[in-house]
Amino acid sequence: MKNKLRNGIALSIIPQIILVKWLGGHPDWVENYYSKGLYPIIAKFFRTLFGWIPFSVGEIIYTAIFLLAIRYLFKNWNRIKTNKLKFLRDALMVFSVFYFTFHVVWGLNYYRIPLSETLAIKDKATFEEIKSLTEQLVIKTNELQFQVTADSSALVQLPYTRKEIIEKTIAGYGSVDERMPFLEYQNPNIKKSMFSILSSYMGIGGYLNPFTNEAQVNRKTPLFRFPIISAHEIGHQVGYSAENETNLIGYLVTLKNEDIYFKYSANAYALSYCLNAVHRTDEKAFEQIFAKLNEGTKKNYQELQDFHDAYENPFEPIFKSVFSTFLKANNQEDGIKSYSKVVNLLVGYHERYPL
């Protein structure tokens, strides 16, 4: 490739960034022409192309790129040291191509109309509203836990394999009610990650590969949380990028599943976020509410905590910091904290549609 072309591709990152930020100021355009126009076509193409393959093509590609990059650096290290500017130019060229491709195949969804507007719910909540919903979720979660186990102190154990949970999650997307027609999901493409152990050490429950539109889920995740993880990642596939929004989508799709174990998983999931929100503001109120929770659900929460503790390592905070920076660069100003913003959406949704 000639130097002029390389220079042009590298410098094209500047107008690309300007264009993306400008589009960010026109969410109605992004919604109508990209998220509801171009993106569904792209997503359907990739899910049709790769969905039938039992393993993740994207993870194979990522691995190949990583190995080729290491090989390139090893073979050309002396030349890189003597031509630093040329190497930086080439690196910027690669990043420019990545940036362009990422936004065309999925990334512009970060700038679409907020889900709260689509559902006509508010996206802000007071502490008293959060506390009230938390108390309601405790009652509902206790009811479901007892229905499943007939023993308030018993751990809830899903009687399904992870493959069956994925199949039930896909079916759940096919039966969402008329409130959420925008969650139509065709040509399913969700797979258990080949890098689940690495994902566990990095604190990842799942992720969407935007370049192949494959949803990967961490096969090590405790079963009672697995339905939510699966539904969350499909939420990314159907075109929602913001983490608080896909948290809400994952919750709603799992909650509306006919299976009682899924309903329990959804309620326990929403409750965990609400309990954390209460704890951050008023520890005494948290202790009073948490004391009302069935011991069986507390054991499920401990199961999840034990899982995270087993993979705790000094590098996880570094990864989370990098991921948080990525989210902030993509229109999520709260970074990784945006996950917990689902509490506001939960309050808004259940204010309009009571539990």
**Which tens digits make up the pLDDT trace of 187-201?**
999 999 999 999 999
Within 13 Å of residue 87, how many CA atoms lie on the same side as its CB?
12
CA distances from 83 to 8, 71, 86, 88, 96 (A): 19, 18, 5, 9, 20
Average pLDDT over residues 102-118: 95
Q: Is the pLDDT of residue 329 over 90?
A: no
Q: pLDDT at position 326, please?
A: 64
Nearest Cα to 254, choosing from 350, 190, 171?
171
Domains in the chain: boundaries? 3-111, 115-352
C-beta of residue 225 within 8 angstroms of C-beta of residue 202: no
Q: What are φ and ψ of residue 259, in 5° steps?
A: -75, 130
Model confidence at 84: pLDDT above 90: no
Q: What is the per-residue pLDDT for 332?
A: 67
Quickly list H helices, the chain: 3-11, 13-24, 27-29, 39-50, 57-82, 84-105, 115-119, 127-149, 162-173, 196-202, 226-237, 243-255, 260-281, 283-290, 295-310, 316-329, 342-352
3-19 average pLDDT score: 92
What per-residue confidence (pLDDT) applies to 214? Answer: 96
Indicate if the pLDDT at residue 338 is higher than 90: no
User: Is the per-residue pLDDT at 320 higher than 80?
Assistant: no
Q: Quick check: helix, strand or coil at residue 54? A: coil
Average pLDDT over residues 29-46: 96
Q: Share the mean pLDDT of the chain.
A: 91
Predicted local confidence at residue 337, as pLDDT: 64
pLDDT attached to residue 322: 67
**251-301 residue pLDDT tens:** 999 999 999 999 999 999 999 999 999 999 999 999 999 999 999 999 999
